[in-house]
Chain A
C-alpha cells in the first residue's frame, strides 16, 4: 500500500538506525533488536495520525523502548546474551572502515579498536536505566525533556540518573584502566 510506504519513509526510515541501535543496546541481542524494531515500526505506522507534526524521532524511540519493555515482560528474560562474538564481528566491520579512513598508523588503529571493545563491554554491563540515558543523551543527543518523555520519568530523575550513570562509567573506566591519558 503506497500510503504506508510513504509513511514508513517519512517517519521510520530516517531514524531506523537510531531505533535499531537503541533496541540493540537495550536487548543486547541482534535477533531481538530486529523483532523490537519491527513491532515498533508497526505501532508507529498505525498511530501516525496521532503524532500531528511533533518530532518523530523521540516519539519513535519511545515506542521502541516500550516494545523492548513489553518483550522483557513477555519473556521474563534475565540471562545476559553473550555478546563477545557479536562485538567482535562489528568491531571487525569497523576496523575495515578505519583502514579505509585517514588513520594511517596501524598501532593507533589497534589501540582505538581495543578501546572500542572495552567500552562496548562496559556500556553493555551498565544497569539498564543508566545505559539508556547515556545512549539517548550522548549518542542520540536528545534533550532532557525528550529523554524524560521517552523513558517516562520526570526531568529531575533524568538529570540525577545521568549524573550517577556518568559517575559509575567513570569509576569502571578507572578500575579497568588506571588513569586515561
Chain B
C-alpha cells in the first residue's frame, strides 16, 4: 500500500521542491501516515549517515604526492615517473620514464598506430551495424545537445578523450549530441549530426587505425575515414559522399581553432 505522493514527499525532504510545492508536501504529511513516517525515517537515516559513517579524507602522503605529480600531468600516470614538461601544443600523450613510456614514445615518433582487431572490411561492416542500431530505437544520443560546451565535457566523463565537437548548423550540419558506442572491441566517441533528413554519425578513436583512410560504400551507406592529430575518424551516413568530405573538412578546420 504505497501513497502516490511518496516520491514527492521524498523530494520535499531532499529540498528539491520550490516554496509552494514544499508547503503542499508538508501539509500532506499531516494527514498521511505513510509519508509522515517516511519523513521521520529519512531524517534519522540522514543524521546517522552524516554523523556516524566514516568520511574518508585523502591521506596526507597521497595528497602531497598527487600535488607534486601534477607539476607534470603525464608523470602522474605512474607514481615513479619523472618526465620533462609537455609542450603545450602537443596533442599526443606520452609516458616518459617507464618501459611502456619508452615504447609508446618510440611508436608515436614513427607515427605507428596499433592495428585493429578485425580486417578493415569487417570494421566497415561493424560500423554500418552500429550506425543502423543508432537509428532504430531511442539510443541515437546519450547526451542530447547542440551546444559543444555541453557535449565536449560529457565525453570526458565517459572516455579519457573528446573529439573536436562543434555545431556546423550554418554549413548545414546541425549538432544533435553525442554518445559512446562500442565497435570492434573498443569504445568510440560518436558525434551525431543532422544534415537535413540525414543522420551523420562521426565515430572517433584515439591511437588506433581500425581501417584504411578513404571512402567506402556499404549497404547503401557512405563511409569516410581519416586520421587527424592522433585521432581516427569515420563518418557514416546515407547522405552523399561529398557531403561527408565537406563535414570532414569542417571538423579538420575546427580542430585548428581549438586551444
Hey, which bits of chain A sit against chain B, CB under 8 A?
1, 4-5, 7-8, 12-13, 16-17, 19-21, 24-25, 30, 33-34, 37-39, 41-43, 45-47, 49-52, 54, 59, 62-63, 66, 87, 90-91, 94, 112, 115-116, 119-120, 123, 134, 137-139, 143-144, 152, 159-160, 162-163, 166, 169-170, 173, 180
Contact = CB atoms under 8 A, between A and B. Distances in A.
Interface stretch (B62-70, B169-177, B203-211, B237-245): B62-70
A87 B6 CA distance: 35
A173 B67 CA distance: 40
A17 B76 contact: no
A137 B59 CA distance: 23
Nearest to B149: A52
B7 A46 contact: no
B153 A37 contact: no
A92 to B, nearest CB: 11
Interface string B45-78: 1101110111111110011001101111100110
Contacts of B160: 43, 46
Contacts of A50: 149, 152-153, 156, 162
24 contacts: A1-B71, A4-B71, A20-B57, A38-B76, A39-B77, A41-B66, A43-B160, A49-B259, A50-B152, A50-B156, A52-B149, A59-B157, A63-B156, A63-B157, A112-B52, A115-B48, A119-B49, A134-B49, A137-B14, A144-B11, A152-B158, A159-B10, A160-B7, A163-B7
Given A16-B66, A37-B58, A62-B157, 8 more contacts: A1-B85, A1-B86, A17-B55, A41-B70, A59-B153, A87-B54, A119-B48, A138-B46
Contacts of A20: 56-58, 62
A54 B153 contact: yes
B210 to A, nearest CB: 20
Interface string B62-104: 1100110111110011010000011000000000000000000
Contacts of B69: 38
B90 to A, nearest CB: 12
A91 B54 CA distance: 7
B16 interface: yes
A19 B10 CA distance: 26
A1 B42 contact: no
A7 B76 CA distance: 14
Contacts of B58: 16-17, 19-20, 37
B195 to A, nearest CB: 25
Contacts of B1: none
B44 A42 contact: no
B41 interface: yes
Contacts of A138: 45-46, 49-50
Interface string B148-167: 01001100111010100000
A120 B54 contact: yes
A84 to B, nearest CB: 12
Given A16-B58, A33-B56, A45 B50 contact: no
Given A47-B162, A50-B156, A166 B7 contact: no
A123 B49 contact: yes
A115 B241 CA distance: 67
Contacts of B71: 1, 4-5
A4 B73 contact: yes
Contact of A119 (B52, B67, B79, B259): B52
Q: Can you list the 6 inter-chain pairs with the closest CB atoms, starting with the nearest?
A: A47-B156, A20-B58, A50-B153, A24-B56, A8-B70, A138-B49
Contacts of B72: 1, 4
A169 B42 CA distance: 10
Contacts of A4: 70-73
B219 to A, nearest CB: 31
